[in-house]
Amino acid sequence: MQNRGITLAIAAVVATIVACSSTTDPVSKIVTFKTTMNGAGEVPANATTGAGTFIATLDTSTNVFTYDVAFSGLTSSASAGHIHGPAAATASSGTTINFVSLAGATFSVGATSGTGHGVATLSAANQITATINGDSLKKLLFAGLTYVNIHTSTNPGGEIRGQITKQ
């Protein structure tokens, strides 16, 4: 009988621990994505000495995607910057997030060196482009099928590019 009492007491403690750890608030999980950009990454490659970095985080519980981009040494002033997808490293595709026109975002248009910052919600309800919603973009990011590039007047198709990878 004493063993049954201990077993019941242990079961009660385990049930209490499980109940206390099961909250209604989701646990935040932050995933980081990065790339470096250069002319060799463009399709087709170019000989620019420009370079850049892109780093983003995605909170998988809230779907908030926050990115920062920096670039320098471009042959002419930046005219645009984008995340593109779906595309492997040797392919090109349409724009998913336009750094210049994303609501609330910043991007250094008209400069050979600059930065950009933005926030987007990557959920099925958020239509990013006519064909890609936030959930689709999130899946492309995890699959490694997105890239960042910076466009200039010298290289209107893109001067520097890097494939985004999950860290």
CATH code at 140? 2.60.40.200
Residue 14 pLDDT exceeds 50? no
> How many other CB atoms are there within 10 angstroms of residue 116's CB atom?
23
- Tokens 């026109």 belong to 101
Domain hosting 152: range is: 26-166
pLDDT mean over 97-105: 90
* Inside any domain, residue 14: no
For the record, the structure tokens of 101 come out as 């026109």
The per-residue pLDDT for 130 is 87
- pLDDT for position 26: 59
> Which pLDDT band, with edges at 50, 70 and 90, does 148 fall under?
very high
What is each CA distance from 75 to 101, 153, 162, in whole angstroms? Answer: 23, 9, 17
Residues 86 and 101: beta-carbon distance below 8 Å: no
pTM: 0.81
Higher-pLDDT residue of 148 and 19 is: 148
User: In this structure, are residues 131 and 77 in contact, taking their beta carbons and an 8 Å threshold?
Assistant: no
The answer to whether residue 108 sits within a structural domain is yes
Residue 2 lies in a domain: no
Residue 15 falls inside a structural domain: no
Please check whether residue 7 lies inside any domain of the structure. Answer: no
Examine residue 16 and state whether it is found in any structural domain, yes or no. Answer: no
Instruction: Report if residue 129 sits inside a domain.
Output: yes
Give percent of the chain above pLDDT 90. 76
Total domains in the chain come to 1
Buried b (16+ CB within 10 A) or exposed e, 34-58: ebebbbebbbeebebebbbbbbbeb
Using the predicted structure, report yes or no on whether residue 21 has a pLDDT greater than 90: no
Q: Reply yes or no on whether the pLDDT at 44 is more than 90.
A: yes
Residue 85 has pLDDT above 60, yes or no: yes
Mean pLDDT of the chain: 87
